[in-house]
Amino acid sequence: METLIAVFSALVIGIALAATVQFILGRRGVTQARLKAIGVIEEAEENKRKIVLQAKEEALNIRSTSEKELRDRRSDLNRTERRLNQREEQISQKNESTQKRHRQIEAELDRKQNLLDESRAELEEIKEKEVKQLEIIAGVSISDAKNALMKKAEEDIKFELAKRYRDLENEYKNDANNQAKRVLTLAIHRLASDVVSENSTSTVKLPNDEMKGRLIGREGRNIRAIEAATGVDLIIDDTPEAVSVSCFDPIRREVAKIALTNLVADGRIHPARIEDIVEKAQEELDETIWQEGERAVFETRVRGMNSELIRLIGRLKYRYSYGENILQHSIEVSNIAGMLAAELGANIEVAKAGGLLHDIGKALTHEVEGTHAEIGADVAQKHGISEPIWRAIMEHHDEDMGSIEAFIVAAADAVSAARPGSRKDTLEHYVKRLEALEAVANEFPGIERSFAIQAGREIRIVVQPDSVDDSSAAKLARDVANKIQDTLAYPGQIKVTVIRETRNVEIAT
């Protein structure tokens, strides 16, 4: 291609030169110009022939080189094909040799297996003959001999095991008793707490006896407002300069005590003021509950408690079990559990947290159904307490416990409860009876609140005025009384009082 382009370029150049010469020498004569043009053309044709020859030579060289390379590649392919064929023949020969060897090995194995089977059959036959001869000589069959031997061995092993088990049991029991006595004695000696007891009444001092009349109010409206707002029974008797607040619920009694103290100090005693004072007393008590919860957590050094758990712990200050303050009991159990865990090598943090929270469900037993252990475990689990701790809470009254920490919490609970003077059985039964009395009343529709007062001899029921009218209130009192007679066991009589109150409030501006 390059040669043709060169030829074409030479022709173009020749023609251009001829035209140029003709144009320049046109006046000198046509003949001379033509001669020169012919010379130029001949020279161009000569160049053309040379270029064509050169191009043909290069093409021939290229062709010969290509043919040589092609012959070389074909030769390489032929050699490779011959090597592959040889390799295939070798593999085929090896495969045939291997198969032949495999058949020989199988034949040899079959021959040896047959010899082995024959030898085994001969051995079994000889064994049977010897066994029969031995049975004839001994007069006992082989099965009877085996049974007798196994029975004798079994009896000997049982005797040795029983003896060894009894010895180990006595040894471990003595060691366990001594260790348990040492640990419990050490823990109890390290912790000495006061005996806790609680009455169902509180006394509020008055500046003078005239204040009693003001607390009663005109036709008793003030005392009724106090009792309705707080749910307590206000006892005003001949005790000089003092009134008594009676209620089985310590929180209600504490709210009433704070409210009465503030009312006496304020001097303005009327139903509207009483409600405001009671609300403020409730707020003040909530702050005290929070502070008590923080104090308990600080004293036991239990970490990981959120604000809601701390508040529930503080509420235990106003809950009692068998006359024992549950908050003080929980702190004591936490400390004892931590000491026991330290002595036994268990997890101290889990034991202390489980001891502090083991009765946390009692802060909600009047609000949620279930045992206090189950309620406490659910509450702890919902507030992010780890599984070993809430399981110790749930299992501290179970017979089967899943961890040593749960066993330690149960033991610490028993140790705290068994202290002389720690509990009173009668108060717990008394509280349960009053709670059952309120529960019966709360089952009826339209009831807003109910309060068991007069040591369980009276229950006052506050109904919703929009849901219960006057005639329905009388029927409700009769139905509650019948339900109490059918479901509860109690001494004497119980008075049922239904209170329906409507209020119309206007504000003058």
Q: Which tens digits make up the pLDDT trace of 419-430?
A: 555 555 455 666
Q: Are 195 and 232 in contact (CB under 8 A)?
A: no
Residue at 295 is within a domain: no
Give yes or no for residue 190 having a pLDDT over 60. Answer: no
pLDDT of residue 410: 85
**Which residue from 385, 336, 405, 393 is spatially nearest to 362, judged by alpha carbons?**
393
Residue at 14 is within a domain: yes
Residue at 293 is within a domain: no
The single residue listed with the structure tokens 């020279």 is 43
Give yes or no for residue 138 having a pLDDT over 80. Answer: no
Q: Residue 467 carries which side chain, given as an amino acid letter?
A: S
Distance CA 361, CA 368 (A): 9
pLDDT of residue 119: 84
Does one domain contain both 85 and 105? yes
Does one domain contain both 107 and 28? yes
Distance CA 452, CA 455 (A): 7
Does one domain contain both 417 and 446? no
CATH of the domain at 465: 3.30.70.1350
pLDDT of residue 240: 82
Distance CA 258, CA 285 (A): 8
In terms of pLDDT, which residue wins out, 203 or 84?
84
pLDDT of residue 492: 63
| 345-363 tens-digit pLDDT | 888 888 888 888 888 888 7
For residue 498, the cross-strand partners are: 461
Residue at 287 is within a domain: no
Give yes or no for residue 209 having a pLDDT over 60. Answer: yes
Does one domain contain both 439 and 477? yes
Phi then psi for residue 247, to 5 deg, are -170, 140
Q: Which of 31-45, 161-175, 215-229, 249-263 has the lowest average pLDDT?
A: 161-175
Q: Which two structure tokens, joined as six digits, stand for 394?
A: 């749930």
pLDDT of residue 21: 56
pLDDT of residue 278: 86
Q: Is 231 helix (H, G, I), strand (E, B) or coil?
A: coil
Rg of the chain over Cα atoms, rounded to whole angstroms, equals: 56
Residue at 462 is within a domain: yes
Give the residue-averaged pLDDT of 463-483. 86
Confidence of residue 153 (pLDDT cuts 50, 70, 90): confident
| 115-133 tens-digit pLDDT | 888 888 888 888 788 777 7
Does one domain contain both 25 and 112? yes
Average pLDDT, the chain: 79
pLDDT of residue 388: 84
Q: Is 496 helix (H, G, I), strand (E, B) or coil?
A: strand
Q: Which two structure tokens, joined as six digits, stand for 264?
A: 């006496």
- 491 CB contacts (<8 Å, ≥6 apart)? none
Alpha-carbon dihedral 69, 72, 78, 80, rounded to 10 degrees: -100
pLDDT of residue 194: 44
Give yes or no for residue 187 having a pLDDT over 60. Answer: no
pLDDT of residue 472: 82
**Which residue from 398, 401, 388, 399 is spatially nearest to 354, judged by alpha carbons?**
388
How many other CB atoms are there within 10 angstroms of residue 84's CB atom? 10
Give the residue-averaged pLDDT of 270-277. 85
Distance CA 284, CA 292 (A): 13
Alpha-carbon dihedral 464, 468, 470, 473, rounded to 10 degrees: -90
What DSSP designation does 446 have?
T
Confidence of residue 193 (pLDDT cuts 50, 70, 90): very low
Give the residue-averaged pLDDT of 103-116. 86
Does one domain contain both 149 and 66? no
Distance CA 137, CA 131 (A): 10
Confidence of residue 322 (pLDDT cuts 50, 70, 90): low
pLDDT of residue 197: 41
pLDDT of residue 199: 56
Distance CA 458, CA 436 (A): 13
Q: In which domain, by residue range, is 31 found? A: 2-120
Confidence of residue 195 (pLDDT cuts 50, 70, 90): very low
Distance CA 364, CA 384 (A): 18
Q: Which of 67-71, 157-161, 332-336, 410-414 has the lowest average pLDDT?
A: 157-161
Q: Which two structure tokens, joined as six digits, stand for 332?
A: 């004591």
The single residue listed with the structure tokens 């079990």 is 321
How many domains does the chain contain in total?
A: 5
Confidence of residue 301 (pLDDT cuts 50, 70, 90): confident
For residue 453, the cross-strand partners are: 458
Show the 3-state SS of 261-311.
Answer: HHHHHHCCCCHHHHHHHHHHHHHHHHHHHHHHHHHHHHHHCCCCCCHHHHH
Q: Residue 162 carries which side chain, given as an amino acid letter?
A: A
Show the 3-state SS of 359-422.
Answer: CHHHHCCCCCCCCHHHHHHHHHHHCCCCHHHHHHHHHCCCCCCCCHHHHHHHHHHHHHHCCCCC
Ramachandran category for residue 131: left, alpha or beta (phi over 0 → left; psi -120 to 50 → alpha): alpha
**Which residue from 300, 298, 289 is spatially nearest to 409, judged by alpha carbons?**
300
Distance CA 59, CA 230 (A): 123
Does one domain contain both 439 and 326? no
Give the residue-averaged pLDDT of 459-475. 85
**Which residue from 328, 332, 356, 343 is spatially nearest to 404, judged by alpha carbons?**
343
pLDDT of residue 425: 47
Distance CA 490, CA 375 (A): 28
* Continuous segment of H or E residues that includes residue 81: helix 30-138
Does one domain contain both 13 and 93? yes
What DSSP designation does 464 have?
P
Does one domain contain both 7 and 93? yes
Residue at 126 is within a domain: no
Distance CA 325, CA 196 (A): 6
Residue at 67 is within a domain: yes
How many other CB atoms are there within 10 angstroms of residue 441's CB atom? 22
Confidence of residue 39 (pLDDT cuts 50, 70, 90): confident
pLDDT of residue 18: 61
Residue at 292 is within a domain: no
Does one domain contain both 404 and 470? no
How many other CB atoms are there within 10 angstroms of residue 82's CB atom? 10
How many other CB atoms are there within 10 angstroms of residue 328's CB atom? 18
Angle, helices 307-315 vs 271-300, to 10°: value is 110
Give yes or no for residue 185 having a pLDDT over 80. Answer: no
How many other CB atoms are there within 10 angstroms of residue 340's CB atom? 26
Give the residue-averaged pLDDT of 191-220. 70
Give the residue-averaged pLDDT of 384-394. 84
Does one domain contain both 223 and 336? no
Give yes or no for residue 134 having a pLDDT over 80. Answer: no
In terms of pLDDT, which residue wins out, 346 or 199?
346
Q: Which range scores top for mean pLDDT: 108-112, 163-167, 195-199?
A: 108-112
Query: pTM of the entire structure?
Result: 0.46
Does one domain contain both 144 and 235? no
